[in-house]
Amino acid sequence: MTATPQITDSHCHLDFPDFDDEREAVVDRALKAGVTRMVTICTRLRQEPQVRAIAEAFEPVFYAAGTHPMSAAEEPLATVDELVALTQQPKLVGIGETGLDYHYTADSKDIQQESLRIHIEACRRTGLPLIIHSRDADKDMARILAEEYAAGSYTCVMHCFSSSAALAEAALDLGFYLSMSGIAAFPKSQELRDIFANAPVTRVLVETDSPYLAPPPHRGRRNEPAYTAHTARVGADVFDMDYADFAAQTQANFERLFSKVPAYEAAA
């Protein structure tokens, strides 16, 4: 019997109340689907202890922490020292999500930009990857990422990438990664699939952003980490690769960027 190819859900939100009644079952379903690792994302730093507790409770779950741009005006501004201190937690493997979102919260763009630069500095100091959320802010995002990279290198993933080809090119030119979510599997997302097809396959991750953005055949319902496999199969088609080969490539990409994960696993 052929083993199920292993993949990683590089971005989910297991702390959200959508999962409160069956978190253990959700993790079990992910494992059965070949999703052997999950990174759950803390979007408000005051909730970091609860998110950390989930990662500590489930061996396959790791976590990241930051201030989501849509919350930047509502939450205390993070400090670089605060973010750096969190990286001492063994299962914290990235910083974010942070970024810019002008779709609903353009009125807070100045504080969003300040928060983003703070998160970037924490990544620069620790070597952990930055997790970026970007919506309707392509020009400012490309400018800030480039300005900050010129001030000192850092690593980054553009999570749930669904922006322009220009922003994809700007991120890839800096050596960053693009993460493919269920949006790339939507029938009307051919333009987005074409953007991914023009990216190096060595710079692509897969994710759910669950409980949001469930890919077909689950679209319109709650998303969960197991469904990463549906998006990854679309990714294999985009790159004209066998699913097992694409899965293995995304695993290698994830381990290269989130290098604290394989180091943790090796030491366990």
Q: Which residues of 4-18 are buried (b: 16+ CB within 10 A; e: fewer)?
A: bbebbbbbbbbbeeb
Q: Tell me what pLDDT residue 3 has.
A: 84
Q: Tell me what pLDDT residue 263 has.
A: 97
Q: Tell me what pLDDT residue 268 has.
A: 83
Q: Which residues of 32-66 are buried (b: 16+ CB within 10 A; e: fewer)?
A: ebbbbbbbbbbbbbeebeebbebbeebebbbbbbb
C-beta separation of 27 from 80 below 8 A = no
Q: Where exactly are the structural domains of the chain? A: 7-261
CATH homologous superfamily for the domain 7-261: Metal-dependent hydrolases (3.20.20.140)
Which stretches of the chain are assigned E, i.e. beta strand? 7-12, 35-42, 61-65, 92-101, 130-135, 156-158, 177-180, 204-206
Q: Tell me what pLDDT residue 237 has.
A: 98
> Which of 55, 58, 3, 1 lies closest to 34 in space, CA to CA?
3
Let me know the angle formed at the C-alpha of 33 by 27 and 35, rounded to the nearest 5 degrees: 60
The full length of the chain comes to: 268
Which stretches of the chain drop beneath a pLDDT of 50? 1
Q: Tell me what pLDDT residue 1 has.
A: 44
Q: Tell me what pLDDT residue 55 has.
A: 98
List Cα–Cα distances, 193 to 6, 80, 188, 246, in angstroms.
22, 36, 10, 15
